[in-house]
Chains A and B, each alone.
Chain A
Amino acid sequence: MSTADTQTPARRANKRASAILKAIASFVVIVGTTYLGLLAVTFFIGRVVPIDPVLAIVGDRAPAHVVERTREEMGFNLPYYHQFYLYVKGVLSGDFGTSVLTTNPVMADIRRVFPATMELATVGTIIGAALGIPLGVLAAVKRGSLADQIVRIIGLIGYSVPIFWLGLLALLVFYARLGWTAGPGRIDVVFEYTFTPITGFFLLDAVLNRDRAAFKDIFAHIILPASLLGYFSLAYISRMTRSFMLNELSQEYIVAARAKGLSETRIIWGHALRNAAVPLVTVIALSYAGLLEGSVLTETVFAWPGLGLYITNSLQNADMNAVLGGTIVIGSVFIALNLLSDLLYRLLDPRTRIR
């Protein structure tokens, strides 16, 4: 009889382990097929566009024999399935090919441009979340009031005004007229010889280098584009926060809490927002992932050497290796952030934990 008692927990542990294994296996399968699909779709779209890829490499003025030789060397005269096979084989061994525009390995290029985008997106998301959540809460709590209307208008402008125009306007006002911020680019040219990037995240690098002047300059450069991106995610985050909060505030437990005599601050921040936080995490993660893709227009206006500019430039020049590499990175970011928000769910919401 005692055997039954000892067996049950063991069986339960076994069951649990197999559930976890199953979860991992299905995750791997899902990620694997997602990647393969991503590769195949991008690869074939890249090959069927009516652009001669050799043109991108040698230019319009190259003599005919150079064009032919390059076509041969790059394997563009092989059948598509063969080219795809070779490409996937390369990717599996970590070789994403060489960018014809920069002549660097694609991954080396992306390692260089991605930190620029990530730094901008991170600061942007922090600004967006730090302002968007309180604004959303305010709008929900004071529903229908003037404050709510103002938040609504702020969000509406953020949604509907073209970022290109807003970026130029911001530059004109804060940089050209008022001189409060620095202009386009990541860092001033005077730091070109004194500042050595370590991680590629310039703010962090300045701290590591203990370079106060560089930090100040980098901050002055990033604040404007980051605020702009932050404003756009603020528009989204504040709207979503408002609706999540309204949903929570109408729940019975809020009435119960009020009846219990809890302070309003505690009810709003401690109870309602805590529950609204679960879906909010997904919203923030997705908006962060959106910014990581590289905001092409923001990067163009602010001459920010990031991923968005890199991929657009490559696309316009039919530099397919670079486009494929960039797509895979973006895909990975989305998959990783989805995973991360799943994990955060588990932390925030006990109901979703595997038992």
Chain B
Amino acid sequence: MMIGKMNGHFRLMLAGAALSAMVFAAPALAATPADTLVQAWAIDDTITLDPAESFELSPAEFLGNAYDMLVRLDISDTTKVRPGVAESWTVSDDGLTYTFKLKPGLKFASGNPITAKDVAWSFERVVKLDKSPAFILTQFGLTKDNVTEKAKAVDDGTFVFTVDKSYAPSFVLNCLTATVGAVMDSKLVLEHVAPVTPTDEYKFDNDFGNGWLKTGYAGSGPFKIRDWRANEILVLERNDNYYGDKPALARVIYRHVKESATQRLMLEAGDIDVARNLEPGDLEAISKKADLTTTSAPKGTVYYISLNQKNENLAKPEVRQALKYLVDYDAIGSTLIKGIGEIRQTYQAKGVLGALDSNPFTFDVAKAKELLEKAGLKDGFTVTMDVRNTQPVTGIAESFQQTVGQAGIKLEIIPGDGKQTLTKYRARNHDMYIGQWGMDYWDPNSNAETFTSNPNNADDGTVKTLAWRNAWDVPELTEKTKAALLERDNDKRATMYKELQQAALDTSPFLLIFQQTEVAGLRGNVKNYKLGPNFDSNFVAPVTKE
């Protein structure tokens, strides 16, 4: 009977717990504030917000929205550029001097005026800090010693940039659209420089504000960066000093949410307006909901399988071609990368100058067998492939393992963590590798240089392009890639890149598979949300909410 009493206690306790949960429960459908766009996105690749150092994907989007460059990529025709801070520009007849006229009366978010001196100082700090993306500017012959001469303010409204060779103007201008070319508020940054003891490696007595800018902001874009907490949140706020069309929304909040299924639930519940890391299944479910929509854009990242030429079987030209016939492109395209990618067999991303739209290979076992027989490998061979543990590459690797098996090739998959397989790849210790490559800057030279040039194939070579990583020694293509840089006629330049891509199709150890498509799921009331061809042109300024 006492036990009966105790049961009463239990019931009371349980009821109490349930009741307290209900009392505190939130109202049903949450909604984000009307003047705020909330996006869920895996932003853990953001390690710094300094344009001179940042070289990853998510910060490119933040910097692209919060900073302005001399020139910007023209979204309506991505083979061209449009004015940014610069109003107009001229190129001297010898192709060495670029003169930029700045738009008059512009201001940074801080209220400081934008002058050519700010532009020159921005170039100077990039070159002197010499972080990962600095080569985008230093490849024009800028050094720590000559940068103040070569990138110079003539007066407050005129900036002159002198390059060392007569490059194709499209190449120079395309490179200046990269986030590393952001125009920095020199007055503001100079208030935050930290002293540094000069060393042999770094000869300057201050850090050019690099420490402060890891989380700080000194730009002039339509939004300013208000707050960033690593792996948590990034907040953009409308910049009222912006000269162009002011954003309709007061702020854009990026919340770090990694999981696709979680993002989908939050989008359905109305806690976020945009979901950015949706996997094919969740994307499909969202596209079927009446109050939700999706949007997508091809991005400058291509996925490929590469063959190390140090492996004597893979070094045979017939084997390289045979393997290109052993990828089941149709099956991969219709299942594994459905909605998140598009089959593409050339290495230039769609939309970039000189991109060759050609997919000559189909899955053809007979043809592949024929080629293998020519190579003297009628009975196939055994080979390994390093594969990192993420989709869709694991799925593609498994499909490839099965399809090459039909031609007698025994493929052993070595699974590994991303950084681990990459370390092995960079040391040229692989047989086959499946990976992706994102463009460094929006110009065909970026991918041409890595896929079809290899200045020094020695193990201690200093220019470690993808061709080098696969020990593909191609002096002729290397020369041609260089020559394309100096071709000042845009049409001729485009043709040269097409020829390089054709050569890669015919002979390279790269099996290009697909170009990545970026997708986003949206609440129905979000309008004018458009993804760009690269991350720094995912502009959020035009977005409105109904």
Q: Is the interface of A mostly helix, strand, loop or mixed?
A: helix
Is A31 an interface position by the 8 A CB rule?
no
Interface residues of A in 151-206 (CB under 8 A from B): 168, 171-172, 175-176, 178-185, 188-190, 192
Is A149 an interface position by the 8 A CB rule?
no
Which residues from chain B contact A303 at a C-beta distance below 8 Å?
40, 255-259, 262
A147 to chain B minimum Cβ distance, whole angstroms, is: 8
A90 to chain B minimum Cβ distance, whole angstroms, is: 19
> How many residue pairs, one in A and one in B, have C-beta atoms under 8 Å apart?
169
User: How far apart sit A263 and B3, CA to CA, in the bound complex (Å)?
Assistant: 10
User: How far apart sit A317 and B257, CA to CA, in the bound complex (Å)?
Assistant: 18
Let me know if B201 and A190 touch, CB within 8 A: no
Which listed residue (A100, A171, A183) contacts B47, Cβ 8 A? A100
User: How far apart sit A180 and B47, CA to CA, in the bound complex (Å)?
Assistant: 36
Which residues from chain A contact B47 at a C-beta distance below 8 Å?
100-103
A300 to chain B minimum Cβ distance, whole angstroms, is: 6
User: How far apart sit A100 and B132, CA to CA, in the bound complex (Å)?
Assistant: 14
User: How far apart sit A190 and B214, CA to CA, in the bound complex (Å)?
Assistant: 25
Stretch at the interface among B102-110, B265-273, B518-526: B265-273
Given contacts A69-B201, A101-B44, A301-B259, contact A134 B269 (CB under 8 A): no
Given contacts A61-B132, A183-B266, contact A189 B38 (CB under 8 A): yes
Let me know if B419 and A317 touch, CB within 8 A: yes
User: How far apart sit A109 and B259, CA to CA, in the bound complex (Å)?
Assistant: 22
Which residues from chain B contact A342 at a C-beta distance below 8 Å?
none
Let me know if A223 and B44 touch, CB within 8 A: no
User: How far apart sit A219 and B266, CA to CA, in the bound complex (Å)?
Assistant: 18
Stretch at the interface among B20-28, B120-128, B166-174, B317-325: B20-28
Is B33 an interface position by the 8 A CB rule?
yes
User: How far apart sit A49 and B214, CA to CA, in the bound complex (Å)?
Assistant: 29
Let me know if B30 and A305 touch, CB within 8 A: no
User: How far apart sit A316 and B416, CA to CA, in the bound complex (Å)?
Assistant: 11
Given contacts A59-B56, A300-B258, A303-B258, contact A316 B230 (CB under 8 A): no
Is B144 an interface position by the 8 A CB rule?
no
Let me know if A180 and B132 touch, CB within 8 A: no
Chain B residues with a Cβ closer than 8 Å to the other chain, count: 69
Is B412 an interface position by the 8 A CB rule?
no
User: How far apart sit A301 and B266, CA to CA, in the bound complex (Å)?
Assistant: 11
Stretch at the interface among B80-88, B231-239, B350-358: B231-239
User: How far apart sit A103 and B228, CA to CA, in the bound complex (Å)?
Assistant: 13
Chain A residues with a Cβ closer than 8 Å to the other chain, count: 70
Given contacts A220-B26, A301-B262, contact A316 B418 (CB under 8 A): yes
Which residues from chain A contact B44 at a C-beta distance below 8 Å?
101, 313
User: How far apart sit A56 and B27, CA to CA, in the bound complex (Å)?
Assistant: 43
Max chain A C-beta neighbours (<10 A), residue from B47, B214, B255: B47
Which residues from chain A contact B253 at a C-beta distance below 8 Å?
189, 192
Question: Hey, what's the 0/1 contact readout for A39-69 against B, CB within 8 Å counting as 1?
Answer: 0000000000111100110111111111001
Let me know if B231 and A313 touch, CB within 8 A: yes
Max chain A C-beta neighbours (<10 A), residue from B2, B26, B269, B420: B26
Closest to A63 in B: B135
Which residues from chain B contact A95 at a C-beta distance below 8 Å?
none
Which listed residue (B38, B257, B422) contacts A60, Cβ 8 A? B422
Q: Is the interface of B mostly helix, strand, loop or mixed?
A: mixed
Let me know if B230 and A104 touch, CB within 8 A: yes
Which residues from chain B contact A264 at a C-beta distance below 8 Å?
2-3, 6
User: How far apart sit A54 and B229, CA to CA, in the bound complex (Å)?
Assistant: 23
Is B13 an interface position by the 8 A CB rule?
yes
Which listed residue (A104, A184, A190, A263) contacts B257, Cβ 8 A? A184
A172 to chain B minimum Cβ distance, whole angstroms, is: 6
Is B440 an interface position by the 8 A CB rule?
yes
Which residues from chain A contact B25 at a C-beta distance below 8 Å?
179-181, 220
Which residues from chain B contact A220 at a C-beta distance below 8 Å?
24-26
Question: Hey, what's the 0/1 contact readout for A255-266 against B, CB within 8 Å counting as 1?
Answer: 000000001110
User: How far apart sit A72 and B202, CA to CA, in the bound complex (Å)?
Assistant: 12
Is B366 an interface position by the 8 A CB rule?
no
B540 to chain A minimum Cβ distance, whole angstroms, is: 15
Which residues from chain B contact A50 at a C-beta distance below 8 Å?
420, 423-424
Let me know if A51 and B258 touch, CB within 8 A: no
Closest to B131 in A: A66
Given contacts A102-B230, A192-B235, contact A52 B265 (CB under 8 A): no
Is A22 an interface position by the 8 A CB rule?
no
Let me know if A51 and B262 touch, CB within 8 A: no
Closest to A104 in B: B230
Which 3 residue pairs spanning A and B have beta carbons closest together? Answer: A179-B28, A264-B2, A102-B230
Q: What 16 new A-B contacts, CB under 8 Å, besides A52-B419, A180-B22?
A: A50-B424, A55-B426, A56-B419, A60-B422, A138-B6, A142-B3, A168-B261, A172-B265, A183-B266, A184-B271, A188-B30, A189-B32, A189-B33, A217-B26, A219-B24, A301-B261
Query: 23 pairs across A/B with beta carbons < 8 Å?
Result: A52-B423, A59-B56, A60-B422, A62-B55, A64-B462, A69-B201, A101-B44, A101-B230, A104-B230, A131-B17, A171-B265, A172-B265, A176-B269, A179-B25, A179-B27, A179-B30, A182-B30, A189-B233, A217-B26, A264-B2, A302-B262, A309-B231, A316-B419
